[in-house]
């Protein structure tokens, strides 16, 4: 069993990351931030799926201003994603951003960094309304393999994990120079093994919480696999305080993937784990759509901590289903309902899904 790296605790709105707090799941909207209605709609869907921190791009002053209205309508911390223009970082904070994400190397020099840091200190947020103690708006320092500085590319003979880490440490030092320490650090690369190596290296050098993700991971299929492998390697070394699974598609998909990655690694409990067999020549019910329907349905039972088995036959199925809390083992146009290791009864095939739903709805009664 690995030990989680001990990082300092940073508060993003009312979500605490680092210092052994549960790994927080975050995502990013793909709407135009200026379009408050669409953005809020997507954030609410993400919240419902289990997203704990949300980031919106801020490419314009109008987008920064939209933060005021967006924040009123959502319930999770809102992060501003800034590129190049320090004025947008300041405006986003003035309009209620709970955190900003910048690359201090590309916002136009020392003076601009100083102004951003001073604003982050000025727009402090009370930890609790009844407590006088205040904190800064945290800043995520993001380094990306696609924008690694040319001198570092040259020094390390290409884009390497060492170059990415040196770049990240340089950025951290830029903020520390102004006595700013409410930082989260990310190093992203679409090269999974390089990314894992960079996180390992940087985790040994700093104690700021780490935001972990595989960037430009790809479509839902390849992005899920790359993210699972990359995040699996990194998190299993005890590294990582908040994660994002980046997928080309509806960001709501990212949340279920992130939850499953954390659950598989033993970093999250709760929710239903669905196990299903791959089907074979022994399968005599239409198992594949049923397994997918059960998985979709299971997402509605976040409060239960159960394993549900959907097995194709009565040869191996009952054995596997007995390992689960509840399950079905397919027969010929019917299936056995198995609960806590006991065969309960036979159920016609077309009633299997509803039967499982009923069992989940009345679990523990
Ligand atoms: Fe085949 Fe039965 Fe195993 Fe499913 S559980 S793969 S149907 S033998």
pLDDT at 347: 96
pLDDT at 318: 67
pLDDT at 132: 38
- Judged by average pLDDT, the poorest of 83-92, 128-137, 211-220 is 128-137
Residue 130 has pLDDT above 50, yes or no: no
Ligand 1: nearest atom to the Cα of 330: 7
Average of per-residue pLDDT values in the chain? 90
Ligand 1: nearest atom to the Cα of 314: 2
pLDDT at 135: 58
Question: Residue 219 has what DSSP assignment?
Answer: B
Ligand 1: nearest atom to the Cα of 277: 4
Quick one: pLDDT band at residue 134, thresholds 50, 70, 90?
low
**CA-closest residue to ligand 1 atom 3:** 316
pLDDT at 128: 42
pLDDT at 126: 47
Provide the percentage of residues in the chain whose pLDDT is more than 90.
70
- pTM of structure: 0.88
CA 119 / ligand 1 centre spacing (Å) = 61
CA 327 / ligand 1 centre spacing (Å) = 14
Residue 127 has pLDDT above 70, yes or no: no
- Judged by average pLDDT, the poorest of 29-38, 137-146, 266-275, 311-320 is 311-320
Which residue's entry shows tokens 């060492």? 162
pLDDT at 26: 97
Residue 125 has pLDDT above 90, yes or no: no
pLDDT at 317: 65
DSSP code per residue over 315-354: TTHHHHHHHSSEEEEE-SSEEEEEETTEEEEEEEGGGHHH
What is the best residue among 309, 315, 327 to mutate for testing ligand 1's pocket, by most ligand atoms within 8 Å of CB?
315
Report the chain's terminal Cα–Cα distance, integer Å. Answer: 35
Q: What is the mean pLDDT of residues 25-39?
A: 97
**CA-closest residue to ligand 1 atom 1:** 280
Which residue's entry shows tokens 């170059």? 163
Quick one: pLDDT band at residue 2, thresholds 50, 70, 90?
low
pLDDT at 1: 45
pLDDT at 362: 94
Question: Residue 147 has what DSSP assignment?
Answer: G
Q: What are phi and psi of 161, to 5 degrees?
A: -60, -40
Residue 13 has pLDDT above 80, yes or no: yes
What is the best residue among 282, 291, 322 to mutate for testing ligand 1's pocket, by most ligand atoms within 8 Å of CB?
282
Q: What are phi and psi of 123, to 5 degrees?
A: -90, 50
Residue 40 has pLDDT above 90, yes or no: yes
């Amino acid at each position: 069993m690995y030990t989680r790296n001990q990082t300092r605790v940073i508060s993003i709105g009312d979500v605490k990351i680092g210092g052994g707090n549960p790994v927080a799941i975050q995502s990013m909207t793909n709407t135009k931030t200026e379009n408050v209605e669409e953005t809020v709609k997507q954030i609410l869907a993400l919240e419902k799926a289990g997203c704990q921190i949300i980031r919106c791009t801020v490419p314009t002053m109008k987008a920064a201003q939209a933060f005021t209205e967006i924040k009123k309508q959502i319930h999770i911390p809102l992060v501003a994603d800034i590129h190049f223009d320090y004025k947008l970082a300041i405006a986003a904070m003035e309009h209620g951003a709970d955190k900003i994400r910048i690359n201090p190397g590309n916002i136009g020099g020392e003076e601009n960094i100083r102004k951003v840091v001073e604003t982050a200190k000025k727009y402090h947020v009370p930890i609790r309304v009844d407590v006088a103690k205040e904190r800064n708006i945290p800043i995520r320092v993001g380094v990306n393999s696609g924008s690694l500085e040319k001198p570092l590319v040259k020094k390390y003979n290409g884009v390497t994990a060492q170059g990415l880490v040196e770049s990240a440490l340089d950025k951290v030092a830029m903020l520390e120079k102004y006595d700013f320490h409410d930082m989260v650090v990310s190093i992203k690369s679409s090269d999974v093994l390089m990314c894992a190596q960079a996180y390992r290296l940087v985790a040994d050098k700093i104690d700021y919480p780490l935001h972990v993700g595989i960037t430009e991971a790809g479509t839902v299929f390849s992005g899920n696999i790359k993210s699972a492998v990359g995040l699996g390697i990194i998190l299993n070394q005890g590294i990582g305080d908040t994660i994002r699974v980046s997928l080309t598609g509806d960001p709501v998909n990212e949340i279920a993937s992130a939850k499953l990655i954390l659950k598989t690694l033993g970093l999250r409990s709760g929710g239903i784990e669905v196990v299903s067999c791959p089907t074979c020549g022994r399968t005599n019910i239409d198992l594949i759509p049923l397994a997918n329907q059960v998985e979709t349905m299971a997402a509605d039972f976040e409060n239960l901590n159960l394993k549900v088995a959907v097995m194709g036959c009565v040869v191996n199925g009952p054995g596997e289903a007995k390992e689960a809390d509840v399950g079905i083992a397919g027969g010929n146009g019917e299936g056995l309902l198995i609960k806590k290791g006991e065969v309960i009864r036979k159920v016609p095939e077309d009633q299997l899904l509803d039967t499982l739903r009923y069992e989940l709805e009345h679990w523990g009664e």
